[in-house]
Each structure stands twice: as C-alpha cells, then as structure tokens.
Amino acid sequence: MANTFLAAQGKPVGKSLCEHDLAGAARDILVKAEKAGCDVVLPIDAMVAQKFEAHAPSHIVSVDHVGENDMILDVGPKSIAHIESLLAACKTLVWNGPFGAFELPPFDQGTNAVAQTAARLTVAGKLLSIAGGGDTVAALNQAHVAQEFSYVSTAGGAFLEWLEGKTLPGVAALMQSSQR
C-alpha cells in the first residue's frame, strides 16, 4: 500500500507492487489527512532488490532514488527508527499488514523490528496493541511476538469492518441466538 502512496507523490517505485490506478485516491487521502491534522506515515528509505526471492542481493535507498528495475521489498533503517519513535509516543496501535515481504529474509527486518518494539511497549504497559489479518498474524508469529500483543485477530477485512463499527454477520447471528 505504501508504494501506491509513494507513486502518487511522484516518487519512483521501479518494479514494485503498486496500484498505479489508485494514485488519485491516494492523493485524496493525503489531502484529507492533512486537512484533518493527521499524519500518513510513509517510508523514507527502503530495502530494494531486483529479484523477489530469499536472500536476493539488496541495498538500502532513499524512496526518492528507487531504480527502475528495483522492487521495494521492505522499509529501511531510517523508516524503522522513525516508526519506532512514533510508537513510543502512541497509546494505541492498530496494525493491519506487514511492512514488506516478511516471508523472505532479509525483507522481514522492518516488520520484525517494529513488531518487537510494539510488543516490548505493550508488555511494559505503555501501548495497547491491536493487530488483525492473516498476513499480520503470520508476521507477528514469525517475529515471536503475537502473544505479547493486546489483541490479535485473524480476520483481516472483517477486523477492519468491526473497527469501523459495522455489525458482522457472524456476530449478529450470535446476538440473535443469545436473545432467544
């Protein structure tokens, strides 16, 4: 998702996964967020490679300098440090989706580092950490921190709809059943 926002800002994303057709929607979101005084946190550096495979040769670049044959496969160390500093100032984290291709080393570094920081802050009682979605759960398990989060849901889309306040069909059925 970050790649779509970066591309919408005119930044090069090379051969990265990106929904170029949603650039207008991404720009609209950025404008609305700015008007609401809300920050959209995007990577400032990235780990890139030219192959999508474990241990592919990779390097760190500014998001302004992604090569045309590069794929953004993880956030870089400056992005990780920035996100961790933001977490230290937060009281609640809602996490849906990993930071990169967490299934393939070394592109799991960003997700692992941020997950471990969030878990540490949660255990210390400084952060309420809520995570949802299959890939998110897999990433937290891979980082060995899922048990340290406040709440983890495997239902990605349903999880987000629940956060929006929508009544989920399964929950509605249980509520009707309990009223009988």
Q: Where are the domains of the chain?
A: 2-178
Helix (H, G, I), strand (E, B) or coil at 128: strand
**Cα–Cα distance for residue pair 130/140, rounded to 1 Å:** 11
Give every residue of the chain whose pLDDT is below 50, as ranges.
Answer: none
pLDDT at residue 17, rounded to an integer: 96
How much is the pTM? 0.88
Tokens coding 45: 């550096």
Match 């592109």 to its residue by tokens.
Answer: 107
Amino acid identity of 168? L
CATH topology of domain 2-178: Rossmann fold (3.40.50)
